[in-house]
Structure 1
């Protein structure tokens, strides 16, 4: 059954290259593209399985797209409209620059880019009038959680974030937690929380510090992607929580980003910027 977030208003096929095609997110993305009539996979990049059909490499039938370990090659041969990057923080900036230089719109689910790098990449997109989307989280529910958190922070400014991910995640805090913190900080003045004489007996026990509040990262096998935003007030506690139980939960957001990036002429950070919220 095809993934869907509203009706698709673009009937012309969108040609896509996926970087990180054999990773867990990459595999789900390939499957989603394969199911959508208006999306067409033209290239797949991975560190291994070079030359093997990507469909066979991830357990599907043959789909006629061989894997390559060179993004440049995939961009040249496939002539895509969009590059979806699901690789590593070390590779993502170079991949985005290669895509933009080739006139290809980047849709990025890899976290770890600095604010300075995002600004540089936005400048490159605007110079070429190309759309781009960086999504700290593709799950629609997680995006709603972030937006609701920013609204709650206006009225309950005492807040802490707890994000929980699988133990193979490379960055901490997660991109979702950092984006949530950014949205919260826009709605409240910086204020140091906790007792004025608070002391950490064990270094790091209170988590990472951001504009007066704390972010805590948990890494355990069995988790996928989970986050709680806790707001405390006199005699009350508001908890916003989102859980992704599998990576299929991200696919409606990936599809939405691919469709919306075709309408943009600059880089945007956060899926909420292309949703009607």
Structure 2
């Protein structure tokens, strides 16, 4: 019986809130091995990432240079997976650089534009390198989205409300955008107008996505990540809601994505595609 080698993993954004959870999850996974940790916080450079994450020494220092880390892994022919939880402003370049080195990205950072996603998909295709872009790693959120698709067959009015912590840089969330896209792909136009609306304060009715679906974003300390999809019809409101109370809820999805991306030769968008 052939024993498969552990999957080598690099974590980009290793000292962030999500990055630390990913470090702990990989350290506990029998089929993975952490080979690199990247974070641009200069005060953490050289520190053991396990100590920073709170799971004990892992003998992996935090380094600031993502490309150098990927290049080193490529030279050793390890061809690892890179989990990216960084920032919307840097995620595109991070993913493109990883693919260029043959490193397979699993991307949890949101904020990529449609054009950037297409560019990365084309680049991954040409490189025959797997890439997963996952707006939300929660299995519960995937189930909510599937339930929303079913409900949309019976309701013509829907709006999306997403609530996140006040350190989230992009709005609306990638998850809310993905949910709206999934509903829009059904080929149905929602929210037929009843009156001519006027906003006395710009943005009061939220952002307008495809097929006339509105998305509302709230940012407050004390929140983590929450989403509601509200359907309305005469005499009733049907609400689907998902709440997170701890970032550990994302880790089963992250580990699933790491295992799946090594089998891919192109970019795949959405956790539901690999379940």
Q: Do these two structures clear the TM 0.5 threshold for a shared fold by scoring above it?
A: yes
- Matched with 1:18 is 11
Answer whether contact 2:20 2:52 (CA < 8 A) is retained: no
Q: Determine the structure 2 residue equivalent to 1:207.
A: 206
TM-score normalised by L of structure 2: 0.93
In structure 1, what is the equivalent of residue 247 of structure 2?
Answer: 247
Offset at 1:35?
A: 0.3
1:32 to 2, 13, 25: 25
1:57 is aligned to 2:52: yes
Q: 1:147 to 1:191 in 2, by over 3 A?
A: closer
Q: Deviations over 1:146-180 (max 9, x none)?
A: 12212221221210000000011101100000000
TM-score, normalised relative to structure 1? 0.92
Residue ranges of structure 1 left out of the alignment (5+ in a row)? 1-9
- What is the rounded CA distance, in whole Å, between the counterparts of 1:243 and 1:117 in structure 2? 29
Q: Which residue of 29, 33, 40 corresponds with 1:47?
A: 40
> Is the aligned partner of 1:227 residue 2:222?
no
Where 1:17 maps in the other structure, the secondary structure is strand
Q: What SS is found at the alignment partner of 2:14?
A: coil
User: Matched residue pairs, number?
Assistant: 266
The RMSD of aligned alpha carbons is 1.4
Shift, 1:234, TM fit: 2.3
1:191, distance to aligned residue in structure 2 (A): 4.3
Tell me how far 1:192 sits from its aligned partner: 4.6
CA distance in 2: counterparts of 1:127 and 1:158, whole angstroms: 41
Q: In structure 1, what is the equivalent of residue 179 of structure 2? A: 180
Deviations 1:200-219 (A, max 9, x none): 12221111112212110011
Structure 2 alignment gaps of length 5 or more: none
3-state SS of 2:47 partner: coil
Evaluate the alpha carbon distance shift between residue 158 and residue 203 of structure 1 in structure 2; reply closer, same or farther with a 3 A threshold. Answer: same
